[in-house]
Amino acid sequence: MRNKVYNWGILAPGRIARRFAGELQQLDNARIYAVGSSDLSRASAFADDFGAEHFYGSYEELVSDPKVEIIYIASPHAFHMDHALLCLNHKKPVLCEKAFSLNLSEVEKMLDCAKENNVFLMEAMFVPHQPSYRKAKQLIDSGELGKVKYIHSWFGFNKSPYDVSQRLFNPELGGGALLDIGLYPVFDALFFLGQPEQISANAEITETGVDQSITIRLDYQDGLSVSIFASFFATSGVGTDVFCEKGIVGLRRTSSVDQWLDIDCPGANVERLNWSPSGCGLKLEAMEAMRCLDEEFLESRVMPHSLSLLLMKTLDEIRKEAGIFYKGRD
């Protein structure tokens, strides 16, 4: 039996939406049907590039289209709550980019709205869907390498000189290293270890009031800890090392479709596991969302609401510790 083909709506056709749409086109059960933007010319250009049948100069028109069956939200995360509520109140299932919103209170409003409307909602946190993470989780949970003793995780890039007026440094758009890239290593800690007992953080704050670099320590029982670093000014790349009693699990990636896993045990050669780009990437989020719709689930088992709540609760605590605030939203 052939799977249902879903008509996708794209809300906010920016850079990440273009990456997502390019991968969405690889799926047989997905069709880029419509795109909505506050700028009609941008919506038109996106529709031309990706073969969308319809384009709209407002988000209200997009969510009002009766043939749109699921919407991918790719606006800056300061707008995620409002855009998610708009979609959900029009009974449209939602896959919403990370960060899910700016704080825990807003995420709770989004989840309450999804529940009230009986509509699917999932945060587009791509890492738990990836084969490298599934393998790492399986290996660590199996106990084959013994207990986890320490995790080091990082995400950094340097494309300076920067324009501090752009999104990354704009507090009104939720700018800052933590919510843009630092949430990935934070997620890794939660994914492998769960909720920490204690959090400490220190940030380098820009003239606009957001963090350009941040260091974080998460402490757990029995002396177990996680160190995290994220920065717009350090060419560190992205990675996570999980130090276990009998070996090290190293996760690396250069893009959503280029990822690998190293297993380093004493007395043995490093085992490197690679995956084909066809089995990786943002499209796995879309596949999971459509699987949930096929099975009439209101939330994902891979990225459940509880995990999104835990992530945002942890990010709120980190921001408080580091002195990062969004005026009018905290």
Reported as a pLDDT band with limits 50, 70 and 90, residue 327 is confident
Q: Which DSSP symbol is given to 182?
A: I
Given this model, what pLDDT does residue 1 score?
Answer: 43
Residue 123 has pLDDT above 50, yes or no: yes
Q: Among 223, 260, 259, which residue's Cα sits nearest to residue 243?
A: 223
pLDDT digits (tens, 9 = 90+) for 29-79: 999 999 999 999 999 999 999 999 999 999 999 999 999 999 999 999 999
Given this model, what pLDDT does residue 315 score?
Answer: 98
Task: Decide if 312 contacts 104 (C-beta within 8 A).
Answer: yes
Given this model, what pLDDT does residue 235 score?
Answer: 95
Instruction: Give the pLDDT mean for 109-138.
Output: 98
pTM of the entire predicted model: 0.96
Domains and CATH numbers, the chain: 6-126+283-300 (3.40.50.720), 127-281+311-322 (3.30.360.10)
> In sequence order, which residues have a C-beta less than 8 Å from that of residue 59 and are 6 or more positions away?
11, 12, 36, 37, 38, 83, 86
Q: How far apart are CA 179 and CA 167, in angstroms?
A: 12
The pairing of beta strand 54-56 with beta strand 30-36 = parallel
Instruction: Give the pLDDT mean for 93-108.
Output: 98
Q: Which residues of 177-203 are buried (b: 16+ CB within 10 A; e: fewer)?
A: bbbbbbbbbbbbbbbbbeebeebebeb
Q: How far apart are CA 274 and CA 263, in angstroms?
A: 12
Range from 90-94, 207-211, 272-276 carrying the lowest mean pLDDT: 207-211
User: Where are the extended beta strands (E) located within 159-210?
Assistant: 198-205
Range from 56-60, 162-166, 322-326 carrying the lowest mean pLDDT: 162-166
Residue 2 has pLDDT above 60, yes or no: no
Q: How far apart are CA 15 and CA 186, in angstroms?
A: 24
Tell whether omega for the bond before 30 is within 30 degrees of 0, i.e. cis.
no
Given this model, what pLDDT does residue 221 score?
Answer: 94
Contacts for 37-40: CB closer than 8 Å, 24+ residues apart: 37/12, 37/13
Q: How far apart are CA 31 and CA 158, in angstroms?
A: 36
